Amino acid sequence: MYKNQRHSERFNLILPIQLSFGTQITLKGEIKDLSLKSAFIIIKSSIHMAPNDELKFCIDNLPNIEGGIEGTAVISRVVPGEGIAIYFDILEIESENRLQQLIAQRISESDRKYEQRP
C-alpha cells in the first residue's frame, strides 16, 4: 500500500481486466495496482493509446465479492511496453460499492500483515 500523487491509498494486486475502445476493439490486461479513483494496467498491445482516450472496462472474478466492477475511464498516462494508468470516470453505484469492498478487503489484509510483524 502506498500513497499516489492524489493522496488516495493505492494497493498492489493482480486482477484481470477487460478494456473496450469503441465497439470493435477489446483488449485483456492485468491490474497491477488499484485505488478508489484509478488503476495501473499491464497491457501489451500494438494499438495506439494516448492520454485522454476514453474506454470502457470490466473487472470480473473479484475475490470474495459477488459481481464485477464496470464503468468508463480515461487514460491518464501511457508507459510504452508496460501499460496504462487510468482514472475512473463513471461507475454505476453497484460497481462503486464493489470497488469500495475490494479496497476495504485490501486495507484489512494490510492491517493484519502489519500486526503480525515481530
What pLDDT shows up at residue 118? 57
Residue-wise pLDDT for 50-98, tens only, equals 999 999 999 998 888 999 999 999 999 999 989 999 999 999 999 999 9
pTM metric for this prediction: 0.82
- Asked whether the beta carbons of 34 and 57 are under 8 A apart, the reply is no
What pLDDT shows up at residue 47? 87
User: What is the C-alpha separation between 109 and 115, in angstroms, rounded?
Assistant: 10
What pLDDT shows up at residue 29? 95
Of residues 113 and 36, which shows the higher confidence score?
Answer: 36
What pLDDT shows up at residue 4? 41
Sketch out the chain's domains with CATH numbers: 2-112 (2.40.10.220)
Torsion-angle region of residue 101: left (phi > 0), alpha (psi -120 to 50) or beta? alpha
